[in-house]
A and B are shown apart, each in its own frame.
Chain A
Amino acid sequence: MSRKTSKTQPVEASDWPAAIHRALKSQRVRQVSYVPDAGHKRLIELCHSDRGMIALPLTSEEEGIGLAAGAWLGGERSALLMQSSGVGNCVNALTLASNCGFPLLMLVTMRGETGERNPWQVPMGQATPEALRLSGVRTLRLERAEEASTVANTAANIAFEEQSAVALLISQQLIGVKSFEEKR
């Protein structure tokens, strides 16, 4: 990486959301559903501006599990974006994936980890990997921006080739911390 880019935010410099977007495209994902997170802002924008994708907002995260099942029944691939607090909303709906063997690709931005300033985010963030494991969802970690393409493709292969439920947990260290300071 050049010296020039290393002066900016590392997130922007390596543009991991664009790498994930490219991975979703190459994996023929069309229906991208989300409950927004600041960490997903750029990926959501990329999906909305992609004419080959339908990016759709959900009122609650578990809706995306039904959507992904319906998409697969109809011959399309779906991905579900959320922050870790949303995993708690998904638990019973995940039985749809485990009972029927539906592919499920979840991209989860982590809260309640490194440097979290909202203590209310910590319990669900800390419980997220175990909650997913108990629900039969495999988990992968994305810690470094330069690994985004490889890890996103690995997750998509687990979902669509192995036809399993998988969550890619995107570390808070990569996303940055919400400051709760007034913008100037």
Chain B
Amino acid sequence: MKALNRREVVASLLERRGALLVVAGLGSAAWDCTAAGDHPLTFPLWGAMGSACMIGLGLALAQPERRVLVVTGDGEMLMGLGSLATIGAQRPRNLAVVVLDNERYGETGMQKTHTAYGTDLAAVAGACGFADSRIIRRNTEIAAVRSSIYRGRGPLFFQVKVKRDSLPLALPPRDGAHLKHRFREALLGKGAAAQ
């Protein structure tokens, strides 16, 4: 299987990230984003599984001039599958979703997820009205994915098939209030964090 290295994919998407706003789904996706560099404009989740895409939608609607990227795993995405329909109904041009799909629940013992049994998340997103939705299997496609995330007309959905390896933990801060405050301060300016 020629699956991709998830850490390399995320590092490629987040290097020179400029004004990009990032929401990271709980578990490995959050570790991947942290490994690429802890950043105040990344909001990593430690819980509330299934919420990542909806946080991205609220952010994208509030900040229509900024690009918003949700990075999450296949298990987290499956728990919030309805949010793809909710995003499809709004069609925010500035929102992209990248699902790092290893077909496993990586944090709980590598049990198979529904994508291992054939669920095609990209097809679901496409059927929900995403402007572009694709399965990505090759390194040579990552540059185009990056270009779409930063400049393409959303909503965009990329289901990136990645290897099933267990990687060293790269943990973001755990204090949710801190993560919220630093994000708002970096985006909205000093004084905004507490309001």
Which residues of A are at the interface with B, using a C-beta cutoff of 8 A? 30-31, 54, 56-60, 62-76, 78, 92-93, 95-96, 99-102
Contact = CB atoms under 8 A, between A and B. Distances in A.
B177 to A, nearest CB: 5
25 contacts: A31-B62, A56-B90, A57-B89, A59-B85, A60-B82, A63-B86, A65-B54, A66-B50, A66-B52, A66-B53, A66-B54, A67-B58, A69-B55, A71-B61, A72-B180, A73-B59, A74-B61, A92-B48, A93-B51, A96-B47, A96-B48, A99-B46, A99-B47, A101-B176, A102-B180
Interface of B: 21, 23, 43, 45-63, 80, 82-83, 85-86, 89-90, 176-177, 179-180, 183-184, 187-188, 192
Nearest to A98: B176
Contacts of A62: 50-51
A16 to B, nearest CB: 27
Contacts of A54: 61, 90
A82 B53 CA distance: 20
Nearest 10 CB-CB pairs, A to B? A70-B58, A74-B62, A66-B54, A59-B82, A100-B176, A66-B51, A99-B176, A70-B55, A76-B62, A96-B48
Contacts of B45: 96
Nearest to B52: A66
Contacts of A92: 47-49
A100 B37 CA distance: 21
A31 to B, nearest CB: 6
A62 B79 CA distance: 11
Contacts of A99: 46-48, 176-177
